[in-house]
Amino acid sequence: MILSGHGLAIGYKDHVVGRDLDIALATGEVLALLGPNGGGKTTLLKTLLGLLAPKAGEVRLGDRALSSYASRERARLIAYVPQSHAATFAFTVETVVLMGRTAHGGLFSRPSAADHAVAGRMLERFGIAHLCERPYTEISGGERQLALLARALAQEPQFVVLDEPTASLDFGNQGRVLHEIRALAASGHGVLFTTHDPNHAMRAADRAYLLRAGALVGQGAVHAVLQREQLEALYDAAVQRIADRDGGQSAFLPG
C-alpha cells in the first residue's frame, strides 16, 4: 500500500505554507522528514494524516483519495504519534493504549475483551506492560513516547506517522525510539517521522525528504541525500561530517 501526496499545496486557512510537494511512502519503509523550523514539516505531516485538507493537489491512500475515507476507516490504516502529549486527565497507561482501539468499535461501544488483548500485546511489545495501571501523567517522557507508540500500533495500521518522536527524550530513550521505528518497518509498516537531527534520520530511515520554506529541496536514500553540502544548504549553517574509519558509518555535527 502507498500513502502519497501529489502536487500538494499545504497550509492553514488563507495561509499557504508549502507548494508543489510530491511525496510517497510505501509500507515497509521509513521516510524521515527534515528541515528548518517553520519549513512546513508538521503541516505536511498533518496533511498526509488527513487532519488538514490540502490547499491544492491530492493525498491518496491506496487507490483512493484520502478525503474519501471515513474517519474510522482512515484510523484503521494510518496512526498518528503526536509530538508532546499534553494529557489533561490522568488516564491509566492501559486506557491510553486502549484508545488506539477506538476505530475498531462502533460509536457507542467500549473496548472488548479482544481489544484488551491487543492493547496487552502492544504494552508487552514495547516493554511497558508493568506500567499499565499507572497514570499516564506520572510516567517519564520516554515511557510516554512508548505508550503512544503502543497506542498507534493498537490501531493495527498500515502507516505510522510520528511528529518529532525523539524530541525531549534523553539519549538512551532516543536510541530506543529509533530502534522501535526500525522494528515498525521490519513488521511491514510504512513509517514517516519528522526530526531535527540528521543523525536520527541516518539511524532509522531508508529515505529522507528535505523541506525548506515549504519547498522540496532534496529526497532519496538517506546516505545519498544527507551530505554535508546538502545539510549546510538546508539549514543555512555550518555542518561537520565525522566518519568511522572501521565501520564506514558517519555522523554530522552542527557548527
Partner 1 sequence: MVRSRSAAPGLLVAFAVLVAGLLLSFAVGRYPVSLGDLIHVIVAKLGGGAAGVPPAVEDVIWQVRGPRVLAAALVGAALAIAGTAFQGLFRNPLVSPDILGASSGAALGAVLGIYFSLDVFAIEGLAFAGGLGAVAAVYLIGAAVRARDPVLVLVLTGVVIGALLGAGVGLIKYLADPYNQLPAMTFWLLGSLAAVSALDLVRLLVPIALGTLVLVALRWRMNVMSLSEEEARALGVPTAALRIAIVAAATLVTSASVASAGIIGWVGLVVPHIARTLVGPDFARLIPAAALLGAGFLLAIDTLARTAAPVEIPLGILTAFVGTPFFIWLLTSVAKTWSVS
* Cell numbers linked to 3: 500513502
Compute the half-sphere exposure of residue 53: CA atoms within 13 Å on the CB side of its CA. Answer: 7
Q: Of 93, 178, 172, 177, whose CA–CA distance to 129 is shortest?
A: 93
Q: Of 194, 111, 190, 91, whose CA–CA distance to 154 is shortest?
A: 111
H-helix or E-strand containing 238?
none
Q: Which stretch binds partner 1 (CB under 8 A): 20-28, 116-124, 178-186, 195-203?
A: 116-124
18-57 residues in contact with partner 1 (CB under 8 A) are: 46, 49, 51
Tell whether residue 66 is a contact of partner 1 (CB under 8 A). no
Q: Of 114, 93, 96, 95, whose CA–CA distance to 104 is shortest?
A: 114
135-154 residues in contact with partner 1 (CB under 8 A) are: 137-138
Tell whether residue 76 is a contact of partner 1 (CB under 8 A). yes
The answer for 118, left when phi > 0, alpha when psi is -120 to 50, beta otherwise, is: alpha
Q: Which stretch binds partner 1 (CB under 8 A): 33-41, 60-68, 130-138, 213-221?
A: 130-138
Tell whether residue 250 is a contact of partner 1 (CB under 8 A). no
Q: Say how far apart CA 164 and CA 148 lie, in whole Å.
A: 13
H-helix or E-strand containing 240?
strand 239-243
Q: How many residues bind partner 1, per CB under 8 A?
A: 43
Q: Which stretch binds partner 1 (CB under 8 A): 106-114, 183-191, 220-228, 229-237?
A: 106-114
Tell whether residue 63 is a contact of partner 1 (CB under 8 A). no
> Any idea what the Cα angle at residue 53 is, between residues 149 and 15, rounded to 5°?
110
Q: Of 23, 51, 33, whose CA–CA distance to 193 is shortest?
A: 33
Q: Which of 43, 47, 145, 155 binds partner 1 (CB under 8 A)?
A: 155
Q: Which of 28, 36, 56, 92 binds partner 1 (CB under 8 A)?
A: 92
Q: Which of 65, 90, 243, 253 binds partner 1 (CB under 8 A)?
A: 90
Q: Which of 54, 80, 202, 230 binds partner 1 (CB under 8 A)?
A: 80
Q: Which stretch binds partner 1 (CB under 8 A): 33-41, 109-117, 177-185, 215-223?
A: 109-117
Q: Which residues contact partner 1 (rule: CB under 8 A)?
A: 12-13, 46, 49, 51, 71-76, 78-80, 82, 85-92, 94-95, 99-100, 102-103, 105, 107-111, 116-117, 120, 132-133, 137-138, 155
